[in-house]
Amino acid sequence: MHDKTRPGQEAIEIKGWWRAHQWLLLRRLSQAMILLLFLSGPWWGIWIFKGNLSASLLLDTVPMTDPYLLLQILLTQHLPEMLGGVGAVLVLGFYLLVGGRMYCSWVCPLNVVTDSAAWLRNRLDLKSSWRLSRSIRYWLLGLTLLLTLLTGTLVWESLNPVSLLHRGVLFGMGIGWLVILGIFLFDVLIMRHGWCGHLCPVGAFYSLLGRVTPLRISTTQRAACNDCLDCFRVCPEPQVITAALKDKQHQPLIDESQCTNCGRCIDVCSQDVFALSLKKTSQIDN
């Protein structure tokens, strides 16, 4: 019998454990490496990335700046230095190329927390969840920008758990763990995919950058789908799958800016329906 609390069991049996976890492992590796490249400086004096995800310097030469933060700074009517501006353009270009929400699933340290929460929720088979529109994050995004404009200070940064966690790991957390624990418990007990899937304005901002990327998950083998629903169980944004998988009129491509390109659907599908591909080639296949 299919165990709903352990999505991916069938894939493990057919493809083997490694192939059923390869994208997840790659992602964890990416998240760990990025953190390590920041930590190697303070820990061992080997400075690769200096600063944190808000703004950093790679090998003391290449600047990188969070474009969402830079936008907020511009809204306070402060013109940043060249260094910060160039950094923001670089990061902006990168995420336009690979899909904005790659940030969420491959870089953001909070992803590990909310993924763990989603995993635990699945295992405990918790069903009750608040229902909120997934577009509420865009409202919150607008709210943070509006408040920044009105107050002239980076209001959102006084709470932002994304920067709080990354900065905390690198520079000292204080009682910030409480905020992270709060988000974990919120995601487990109160709302399924509550933070990353509904509320986070940082993810909302990056999803807006996801419209032009050629890097997308395709569903060219969708005829092989056996309706096990495992992809829906692991996907942090399951609403993006439906059309590409089930609607025969729809192109076999998850061309949704809310998709984080995490690749977990590729892992858990025993029928290899999903694949990471370039938008153009999959359209030609179509």
Partner 1 sequence: MNKQRRQFLEKTLSTACGVGMLGAALLIHSRSSSALPAQAIRPPGALAEEDFLGACIRCGLCVRDCPYDILKLAQAGEDTPIGTPYFTARTAACEMCDDIPCVPACPTGALSHDLTDIEQARMGLAVMIDQEACIAFLGLRCEVCFNICPVRGKAISITRRHNVRSGQHALFIPVVHSEACTGCGKCEQACILEKAAIKVLPTHLAQGQLGEHYRLGWREKQKAGEALVTPDQMHEYNLPEGMHYDHAGEGLMMDDSVDDTPFSSNPLDTLKRGQDTLRSDKP
Asked if 238 and 134 count as a contact pair (C-beta separation under 8 A), the reply is no
What distance in Å separates the CA atoms of residue 25 and residue 13, rounded to the nearest whole number?
18
Asked if 230 and 10 count as a contact pair (C-beta separation under 8 A), the reply is yes
- Residue 46 or 124: the one with the smaller Cβ distance to partner 1 is 46
**Interaction between residue 21 and partner 1 (CB under 8 A):** no
Of the candidate residues 133, 227, 280, 284, the single one contacting partner 1 (CB under 8 A): 133
Q: Which region, left, alpha or beta, applies to residue 152 given φ > 0 means left and ψ of -120 to 50 means alpha?
A: left
Which of 1-9, 111-119, 133-141, 261-269 is the region at the interface with partner 1 (rule: CB under 8 A)?
A: 133-141
Which of 3-11, 55-63, 190-198, 221-229 is the region at the interface with partner 1 (rule: CB under 8 A)?
A: 55-63
Closest CA to 244 of 236, 233, 232, 234: 232
**Interaction between residue 131 and partner 1 (CB under 8 A):** no
Which of 3-11, 171-179, 206-214, 266-274 is the region at the interface with partner 1 (rule: CB under 8 A)?
A: 171-179
- Residue 66 or 255: the one with the smaller Cβ distance to partner 1 is 66
Instruction: Identify the DSSP state of 62.
Output: E
**Interaction between residue 151 and partner 1 (CB under 8 A):** yes
**Interaction between residue 46 and partner 1 (CB under 8 A):** no
What distance in Å separates the CA atoms of residue 75 and residue 123, rounded to the nearest whole number?
44
Q: Least distance (Å) from partner 1 to the CB of residue 139? A: 4
Question: Total residues contacting partner 1 (rule CB under 8 A)?
Answer: 56
Of the candidate residues 8, 84, 194, 263, the single one contacting partner 1 (CB under 8 A): 84
**Interaction between residue 52 and partner 1 (CB under 8 A):** yes
**Interaction between residue 61 and partner 1 (CB under 8 A):** no
**Interaction between residue 93 and partner 1 (CB under 8 A):** no
Q: Least distance (Å) from partner 1 to the CB of residue 132? A: 9
CB under 8 Å to 214, separation ≥6 — which residues? 97, 278, 279, 280
Closest CA to 276 of 227, 217, 232: 217
Q: Least distance (Å) from partner 1 to the CB of residue 186? A: 14
Asked if 215 and 276 count as a contact pair (C-beta separation under 8 A), the reply is yes
Q: Which residue has the tokens 């299919």?
A: 2
122: amino acid identity, one letter: N
Length of the chain, in residues: 286
**Interaction between residue 130 and partner 1 (CB under 8 A):** no
Partnered with residue 52 across adjacent β-strands are 55
**Interaction between residue 73 and partner 1 (CB under 8 A):** yes
Q: Least distance (Å) from partner 1 to the CB of residue 47? A: 8
What distance in Å separates the CA atoms of residue 274 and residue 137, rounded to the nearest whole number?
27
Rounded to the nearest 5 degrees, what angle is found at the Cα of 98, between the Cα atoms of 261 and 233?
A: 5
Which residues make up the interface to partner 1 (CB under 8 A)?
41-42, 47, 50-52, 54-57, 63, 65-66, 69-70, 73, 76-81, 83-84, 87, 133, 136, 139-140, 143-144, 146-148, 151-159, 163-164, 167-168, 170-176, 178-179
